Copies of this chain bind each other. A is one copy, B any other.
Amino acid sequence: MLSISSKCRYGILAVLALGENHGGGLMQIKDIATAKNVPRQYLEQIFNRLVNAGIVNSVRGKKGGYRLAHSPEKITIFDLVEVLEGGVQLVGINEPQDAVSELFGRAQVSLKKTFEITLADLIVRQQALLENVMFHI
């Protein structure tokens, strides 16, 4: 089954939370885990990846936490997918030039385009969705 892992979904949700809080100080993993309903220890692993990839900064010790390493305009969801999913590679680099590889290549390009939205854009979209929910109450 071609699907996106929970790891990736969890990671994007967590980074989205950091993005919504950008400039507002540190966020702690237990709060994010609770808010987004993600197993805390699993989220720790995910944050490790993000820290190692330089997307997120960590501060250790009491009153520690995480924050974005760059502004939301400079982070794309594709960056996150690469780190969390280990890349997107529908077509191998050494494949013969046949119609099937060509098709897979097109699929890969369209997927990449979809994910090349910035975190800033995603935050805006998320707020729009929230307002929509408010409107319907």
Chain A residues near B (Cβ < 8 Å)? 1-4, 9, 12-13, 16, 77, 81, 85-91, 97-100, 102-104, 106-107, 110-111, 113-115, 117, 122-123, 125-126, 129, 133
Tell whether, in the assembled complex, residue B103 and residue A122 are in contact, meaning their CB atoms are under 8 Å apart: yes
Copies in the complex: 2
Task: Write out the residue numbers on chain B whose beta carbons fall within 8 Å of the beta carbon of A106.
Answer: 114
Tell whether, in the assembled complex, residue A100 and residue B16 are in contact, meaning their CB atoms are under 8 Å apart: yes
Tell whether, in the assembled complex, residue B129 and residue A89 are in contact, meaning their CB atoms are under 8 Å apart: no
Q: List 5 A-B contacts (CB under 8 A).
A: A1-B85, A2-B87, A2-B89, A102-B125, A103-B117
Q: Give min CB distance, A116 to chain B, whole Å.
A: 11
